[in-house]
């Protein structure tokens, strides 16, 4: 079993609600939506649970697709633990832990884009005004190097 607690530090949703978590163990992938946790188990924390064969000890890959369009990928995650995963900062488009040239490139690639159905557009639209443009660029530059 792997419990993942997904927390979002910023934007769109709090606590990772709406994120999709994919977990690969022994070459098999399963997916879970992060939801509010209300209902039968009545937990206030957004936690996703995965069950695996008893022999499994490690997840080759855990991938979190945040509602913001960003994606966090972890490899070699031990099972039978609880991992807390924090969403990347909004301007860290490629979720590599810092805001820099690669994020700028991703934003510029979406310049003028307006289709929020596309993940690449959503993550570049930092101010959520429905278009990728100068205000998003200025937000990214303000966060540069963080």
Binding residues for Ca ion, rule: CB under 5 A, are 92, 94, 96, 103, 125, 127, 129, 136
- Nearest distance from C-beta of residue 117 to Ca ion, angstroms: 15
Please, what is the minimum distance in Å from the beta carbon of residue 125 to Ca ion?
4
For residues 3 and 94, which CB has a smaller minimum distance to Ca ion in the complex? 94
Given a contact cutoff of 8 angstroms between Cβ atoms, the answer to whether 5 and 17 are in contact is no
CA distances from 15 to 12, 30, 62 (A): 10, 21, 17
For Ca ion, give the closer residue by CB, 47 or 92: 92
Integer CA distances (angstroms), 116 to 19, 35, 67, 104, 125, in order: 16, 21, 11, 19, 9
CB 97 → Ca ion: shortest distance, Å?
Answer: 7
- With respect to Ca ion, which residue has the nearer C-beta, 61 or 94? 94
CB-nearer residue toward Ca ion: 65 or 94: 94
3-state secondary structure of 130: coil
Pick 68 or 92: Cβ nearer Ca ion: 92
Min dist. Cβ of residue 114 to Ca ion (A): 9
**H or E element, residue 106:** helix 101-109
Q: How far is the CB of 88 from Ca ion (least distance, A)?
A: 8
């Amino acid at each position: 079993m792997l419990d993942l607690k997904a927390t979002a530090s910023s934007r769109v949703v709090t606590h990772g609600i709406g994120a999709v978590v994919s977990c690969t163990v022994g070459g098999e992938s399963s997916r879970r939506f992060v939801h509010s946790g209300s209902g039968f188990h009545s937990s206030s924390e957004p936690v996703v649970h995965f069950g695996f064969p008893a022999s499994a000890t490690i997840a080759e890959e855990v991938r979190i697709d945040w509602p913001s369009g960003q994606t966090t990928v972890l490899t070699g995650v031990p099972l039978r633990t609880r991992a807390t995963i924090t969403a990347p900062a909004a301007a860290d488009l490629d979720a590599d832990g810092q805001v820099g040239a690669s994020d700028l490139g991703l934003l510029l690639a979406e310049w003028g884009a307006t289709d929020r159905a596309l993940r690449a557009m959503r993550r570049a639209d930092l101010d959520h005004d429905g278009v990728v443009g100068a205000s998003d660029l200025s937000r990214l530059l303000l966060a540069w190097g963080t």
